[in-house]
Every structure is written in structure tokens, then in C-alpha cells.
Chain A
């Protein structure tokens, strides 16, 4: 047992618990806060996987911008409290059972095939740093990058169109 395993184990437990917290909080605001917590721990995993740029983007874009937007909407609508009762009585137990089966199946699948994973190499010093990502993104993935830019523009216009007031119609 070395420090890596300890760190991973601890953080994994925190991640799963925060996800469960998001899932089962009655208040939507709590759910959002649990999710922010969850995202932050995932960012630490990114750091451990030699992806510092992604880790920082996770903190700023997800935990920062997107979740703030969620909180803003929750508070704007005042829709913190909503019942959890599903439309049919068998729905919730069935969903839980299926989820448990899926988790067991996934973990079983991964751990039975763990030998087929190649051995993990020591990374080079500058692996995943912003310079490399930037070079790759603006050379090989330039078209996709531009397409995403267009997508964001369309999303912005769509959001404005949907949320404009009656007086503009």
C-alpha cells in the first residue's frame, strides 16, 4: 500500500459519497453543492492522471461556470423542493436493482479483464501540459475546434431566443 493507493482510495470514497449525496438530497441546492464537491475531487483524479490542463478546466468550467448556472436557475425558480416519488410504485426498486446489477457487472468486467490492460508507462515530464494540448488542438483538431465554437454560438443564440420575454414576440 503506497501513498498513491491511499490517496486514490480516499478520494474515490469521497467521490462516490458526494455523488450519492447529490442523488439523494431533498434540497436541490444541496444536490448542486454535492456535485460541485464531486467535480472537484474528479479534478484531483485528473491531476493524478497527468492532465493538469483538463483538471483546471474542470474546476473553472464545470465546478465554476456550469454549476453556478445551475444554482442560479434553482434559486431563480425556487424549485428546491420536489418530491422523489416516481409515477409507478415499482419504478424506484427496479431502478435501484438494475443500477446495482450494472455496477457489479461493470466492476466484474473490468477486474476480470485487468490483465489485458497494458502496463502503465512512466510519463514524460511535459505530458498533458497546456502547450502540447494547444499545439494538438490547433493543428489536428482545428476543424472540430471551430465546429465547437459554432456550436457554442448557436447555443447562446438558442438560450437567448428561449428565454426572452413576452414583449419581444
Chain B
């Protein structure tokens, strides 16, 4: 059996890579996909801890996270489509109207 902390470590690596994606990409869709990657890393940690403590609540949480992610994607992508319609671009750096 692989010890659980290996899974946790993997989860941490995946999460950091997702965060890195948010930071270095300009494409709004890829930023979005990086967010999904971060969620996925969190899910992995949930499932690993569920396995460690022998309870099913962690898995249920993962299920809920998936549902929320689906809702988020639905709305988020609709927003991105809308932004593209107005600005003809999905470059996140062009959306800087809040500049001080």
C-alpha cells in the first residue's frame, strides 16, 4: 500500500501547478482550466484523507465539489463568451478597467 502522504504530496504539487497556471497564463480559458486543476488536487486530498480515516464523508464532499465545479464552469464559460463578444478577446490583461 502506498502511504497516504504520497497522495497528499502529489495533491500539493498539482495544486501549486494549478496556481502557477493562473499566474502565468493570459488566456482566460486556460486560467479557468487551471482553477479546475486546483479543484482536482483538493479532491485528491479529500479522497486520500477519506481513505486514511475510513469515512465516506470525504468522498461525498468530492461529489459536491464536482457539482459546484460543474455549475461554476457553466456560468464561467458563459461569462467568458460574453466578454469575448464585447472585447473580441479573452486576454485577461485587457480587462484592466479597474486600474487605479
Contact = CB atoms under 8 A, between A and B. Distances in A.
Nearest to A32: B33
A103 B12 contact: yes
Interface residues of B, number: 70
B5 A111 contact: yes
A162 B82 contact: yes
Nearest to A158: B75
Contact of A23 (B34, B63, B82): B34
A84 B25 contact: yes
Interface of A, helix, strand, loop or mixed by DSSP: helix
A77 B91 CA distance: 12
Contacts of B26: 82-86
B54 interface: yes
Contacts of A61: 66, 70
Given A35-B37, A114-B3, A79 B25 contact: no
Interface of A: 4-5, 8, 12, 15-16, 19-20, 22-23, 28, 31-32, 35, 38-39, 42, 45-46, 48-51, 53-54, 57-58, 61-62, 65-66, 69-70, 73-74, 76-77, 79, 82-87, 91-92, 95-96, 99, 102-103, 106-107, 110-111, 113-114, 117-118, 120-121, 123, 127-128, 132-133, 136-137, 140-141, 144, 148, 151-152, 154-156, 158-159, 162-163
Contact of B64 (A49, A66, A148): A148
Contacts of B7: 45, 49
B94 to A, nearest CB: 10
Interface of B, helix, strand, loop or mixed by DSSP: helix
A12 to B, nearest CB: 5
Nearest to A153: B71
Interface of B: 1-10, 12-14, 16-21, 23-27, 29-30, 32-34, 36-37, 40, 43-44, 47-48, 50-54, 56-57, 59-60, 62-64, 66-75, 77-82, 84, 89-91, 93, 96
A84 B24 contact: yes
Given A69-B73, A110-B9, 5 more contacts: A5-B2, A23-B21, A82-B90, A82-B91, A91-B23
A4 B2 contact: yes
Nearest to A162: B78
B59 A70 contact: no
A132 B2 contact: no
